[in-house]
Amino acid sequence: MEEYFDKLDATLSDTTKFERLTRNPTKDIKGVVNKIISTVNAASNAVHLPPISGDFDLGYLYWNVMTHKAGNPLRPIISQTPPPTYALAKRLNHILTPYVPSSYSLKSSVKFLEVIRDSSGTGTIASLDVESLFTNAPVDETIHIILNRVYRDPPMTPLNIPEGSLKALLGICTKMAPFTTQRGHMYRQKRRTALRWAPHWASSL
């Protein structure tokens, strides 16, 4: 168990990725998000974002030990149900899903097997293993790609949300959501991302 906590502390000590918090910022985040939502709803007749209401708490960070890899590294997972960004992230996911290119992706392993079965039997299949995929996801670059896809890709109809507002909301959901650890310390992940978990869905938005 002590080795587990040592690995946890070593990861969270990276100040380029994590910021230690001294107070619970959930109320402040709620206020900032609702101001942006008011701007979006005033500017758009096609898209409505419901204001955030109710009480919220910190997310919760836990780790899965990857016993199949050398050194038994930890996979960080953040439960995202408690923070005020949870409902907003689900809504943005729904809004942005139509903009996700489908040409080079499959929805399930069943679909993959169907493609293999129906193929001509020629070609090469390659399996690529990305080391620490979620914890190395470049958040700012990803947001930039999303904005270009939504607002500047000719085949797509630009989203009826001010670009600056969408950028701010994506940044809040990915870089501002606070969480606590098993040691009781509060953090936010300001760079890269952990695997986000919530009932029935998981993403690194």
pLDDT digits (tens, 9 = 90+) for 13-39: 888 888 999 999 999 999 999 999 999
Mean pLDDT of the chain: 82
Rg (CA), the chain: 19
Burial letters for 95-134: b for 16+ Cβ neighbours within 10 Å, e otherwise?
ebeeeeeeeeeeeeeeeeeeeeeeeeeeeeeeeeeeeeeb
What is the phi/psi pair of residue 63, to 5°?
Answer: -135, 140
Distance, CA of 74 to CA of 8 (rounded, Å): 8
Least confident span in 30-39, 43-52, 122-131: 122-131
Contact (CB, 8 A) for 179 and 193: no
Distance, CA of 167 to CA of 172 (rounded, Å): 9
Contact (CB, 8 A) for 88 and 49: yes
The mean pLDDT of 162-190, rounded to a whole number, is 90
Distance, CA of 102 to CA of 148 (rounded, Å): 17
Strand-pairing partners, residue 59, are 179
* pLDDT at site 122: 77
pLDDT, tens only, 76-103: 788 878 888 888 998 999 999 999 887 7
What is the phi/psi pair of residue 18, to 5°?
Answer: -120, 145
pTM, to two decimals: 0.78
